[in-house]
Amino acid sequence: MTIQFDHVCAIDWSGGKGKRHPGIAVAMMNCRTGEVEIILPPEKTWSRQAIFKFLSNTLNKYNNILIGFDFSFSLPFADQCFYISMDVEKPCALWREIDDISIDAVDYYAGPFVEKHQDYFHRTKHKGKHYQRRLRVTERACVEQGLGRAESAFHLIGPSQVGMASLAGMRLLHHLKSQHADAAIWPWDKPQDKGLTVVEIYTGAMLRHAGAAGTKVRDWPTVEEIISQKLPKQITDIPATDHLCDAVISAVMLHKLAAKKEYWSPDASEEVLQSEGWTFGVL
């Protein structure tokens, strides 16, 4: 099963504290024309709240759109049959718990959730007594398939850490599903032939799918070489950053992978897909 999406969008994400995040970047591809554009933030840099408004607007603006977010949609479950709390057994309940605990933190920041469960996380100057470098099944598959070194969401140290971004993203998913029940969040929901479909992506894996393994791209000529197409002036007039380059390449690759049935049916049990989700682009 595949859907002929009108537009595909890739969003490089951030879990940082505060209201503005230079690390967030958004690229859109018109699947009918093949043209790519960078979606500029309403202010100087994106906030996560502004991204939520962007998602809400897409429901009215586009006939059907696929959006890929560069964060984990769940914590590991299959390895130990729990996330953190034994009372939470479904991702939607996990998203709600993270949001409830972090409700007073601005812009979907999830620091209060980490503080409450600090014994499970490895942070600077603090290694929780219950910390383990747990990985989801899709993250182990990502490593095995040579698509990149997946990091545990419980490891919150260094530039490769993904935990804070993922937890903030799960707050966004909770609000998205609460306010827009028809939005499809894959793999829990089937892709929509009309409306919004959201998938988890890993920009490092998208670079590898594009044949740019292990490369940090920071200039437009290199992006053009990787995606084998000329970029419009709207993009090349913008100073390139690794976040913008990742978003552009990921949008193009997401469009290509979404046309292949195998990526919508990865090699995972239904129990794993329902409890942990999956990274689109990993088989």
Q: What is the mean pLDDT of the chain?
A: 95
Res. 221: pLDDT tops 80: yes
Rounded mean pLDDT, 28-52: 96
pLDDT of residue 1: 65
pTM: 0.96
Q: Which residue has the tokens 């129990």?
A: 271
112-167 per-position pLDDT tens digit? 999 999 999 999 989 999 999 999 999 999 999 999 988 999 999 987 789 999 99
Rounded mean pLDDT, 10-35: 95
Res. 215: pLDDT tops 80: no
CB half-sphere exposure, 31, CA atoms < 13 A: 21
Contact 147, 281 (CB under 8 A): yes
Rounded mean pLDDT, 269-275: 97
Rounded to whole angstroms, the Cα distance separating 228 from 263 reads 22
Res. 86: pLDDT tops 80: no
Rounded mean pLDDT, 266-274: 97
pLDDT of residue 87: 82
Alpha helices in the chain (DSSP H): 48-61, 91-101, 111-116, 137-144, 163-179, 203-209, 220-227, 233-236, 242-258, 270-276
pLDDT of residue 158: 83
DSSP string for 13-24: ----SSS--TT-
169-191 per-position pLDDT tens digit? 999 999 999 999 999 999 999 99
Going by the DSSP 8-state scheme, the letter that residue 217 receives in this structure is -
Q: Residue 8: exposed, middle, or buried by beta-carbon count in 10 A (0-12, 13-18, 19+)?
A: buried
* β-bridge pairing 7-12 and 36-38: unpaired
Contact 141, 150 (CB under 8 A): no
Neighbours of 57 (CB within 10 A): 10
Rounded to whole angstroms, the Cα distance separating 15 from 107 reads 10
Confidence of residue 192 (pLDDT cuts 50, 70, 90): confident
Res. 85: pLDDT tops 90: no
pLDDT of residue 159: 77
Q: Name residues whose C-beta falls within 8 Å of residue 115's C-beta, 6 or more positions apart in sequence.
A: none
